[in-house]
Amino acid sequence: MIECHDIYSNYNTSLSRPILNGITLKINQGECVALLGLNGAGKSSLLKAMVGLLPLQKGEIYINNLVMTQKTLNRVRRQIGMIWQGGGLIPQLSALDNVLCGKLGTVSSWSSLWGFSANDRITAQSLLRQLGLEQHEKQKVSKLSGGQQQRVAIARALMESPKILFADEPTSGLDLVATQQMMNIITDLRKQGMTIVLVLHDLAMASEYTDRSIILDKGRVIYDGKSENIQHQFAHLC
Ligand SMILES: Nc1ncnc2c1ncn2[C@@H]1O[C@H](COP(=O)(O)OP(=O)(O)OP(=O)(O)O)[C@@H](O)[C@H]1O
């Protein structure tokens, strides 16, 4: 479960307001939610706040009943897999090494000197296999297609078996086939009971793949409700 209680980020002088300007929401375990809004509405900033990467001036965030503070941040982050806008992969590393990077938040700096454990490698290989990338595990990700890179990003996000997945525009730059593959993977994860928050720009996609949509405008929630038929109501805002 994810809860934001009246959260405000720091004052932003170029916007003359906080980027997140009083957001309250609750997302239950197993929900698949689209986060929508015009460019600059605050969608990526909200995801960043929910993984502790955007300082708050006011308000609280709870992840599975654990309040986010400096002390709890590592425990909170372990429960969340994140796919960044553009994938956020390291282009010169292989697909397998990028997936293993999903473990870096939890291995101590001492043990990372010895490399990843055999178990970690087995988990990473198994994730790549499940995502249809077993042939590509040794390839540099810069040599993979956009769709393949996004699947590597998903595998990396799943390394810690998170209960929550955040994906920032996971289909951006993908062709129709790769978009369909990506959304099928997300649908499968959803069927397994994962809580999923997707930043999307396509209202029709939100309506097709998610139950609930949250629309932001100028750092505030202006709609929180069913995704069904949302494209007819809010076309001017996304
Ligand atoms: N690190 C930062 N420093 C200053 N301003 C920032 C920073 N990050 C984001 N902003 C500003 O905050 C606002 C919200 O940005 P954010 O990236 O969250 O929007 P978004 O809804 O995800 O937009 P997009 O659809 O373009 O990705 C924008 O006006 C942006 O310029």
List C-alpha distances in Å: 173 to 73, 131, 149, 150, 226: 32, 19, 11, 10, 27
So what's the pLDDT on residue 88? Answer: 86
Q: Find tokens 């307001």 and name the residue.
A: 17
* Ligand 1 atom with least separation from CA of 85: 27
Identify any residues that bridge with 35 across adjacent strands, giving them in sequence order: 199, 214
* Ligand 1 atom with least separation from CA of 45: 18
Residue 63 lies in a domain: yes
CATH number at residue 66: 3.40.50.300
Residue 99 lies in a domain: no
Pick the closest to residue 80 from 61, 97, 98, 95 (CA basis). Answer: 61
Task: Count CA within 13 A, CB hemisphere, residue 117.
Answer: 11
Q: How many domains does the chain have?
A: 1
Residue 27 lies in a domain: yes
d(CA 82, CA 50): 10
Instruction: Give the pLDDT of the chain (238 residues) as one tens digit per residue.
Output: 999 999 999 989 999 999 999 999 999 999 999 999 998 899 999 999 999 999 999 999 999 999 999 999 989 988 999 998 877 899 999 999 999 999 886 665 655 656 778 889 999 999 999 999 999 999 999 999 998 999 999 999 999 999 999 999 999 888 888 899 999 999 999 999 999 999 999 999 999 999 999 999 999 999 999 999 888 888 776 6
So what's the pLDDT on residue 236? Answer: 72
Residue 44 lies in a domain: yes
CA of 45 relative to ligand 1 center, distance in Å: 6
So what's the pLDDT on residue 108? Answer: 59
User: What predicted TM-score, i.e. pTM, was given to this entire model?
Assistant: 0.90
Q: Could you tell me the residue range of the domain that residue 233 belongs to?
A: 1-79+165-170+197-238
The pairing of strands 80-83 and 164-168 is: parallel
List C-alpha distances in Å: 231 to 1, 36, 158: 27, 11, 31
CA of 138 relative to ligand 1 center, distance in Å: 35
* Ligand 1 atom with least separation from CA of 46: 18
So what's the pLDDT on residue 97? Answer: 93
CA of 237 relative to ligand 1 center, distance in Å: 16
Q: Two tokens at 71? A: 């002390």
Residue 227 lies in a domain: yes
DSSP annotation of 87 reads: B
So what's the pLDDT on residue 144? Answer: 95
Residue 97 lies in a domain: no
So what's the pLDDT on residue 107? Answer: 61
So what's the pLDDT on residue 214? Answer: 97
Q: Is the dihedral of CA 100, 104, 106, 107 positive or negative?
A: positive
Cβ of 219 closer than 6 Å to ligand 1, yes or no, is no
Pick the closest to residue 35 from 210, 236, 218, 233 (CA basis). Answer: 210
The pair phi, psi for residue 180, each rounded to 5°, is -60, -45
Residue 125 lies in a domain: no
So what's the pLDDT on residue 106? Answer: 64
Residue 43 lies in a domain: yes
Q: Two tokens at 49? A: 């706040």
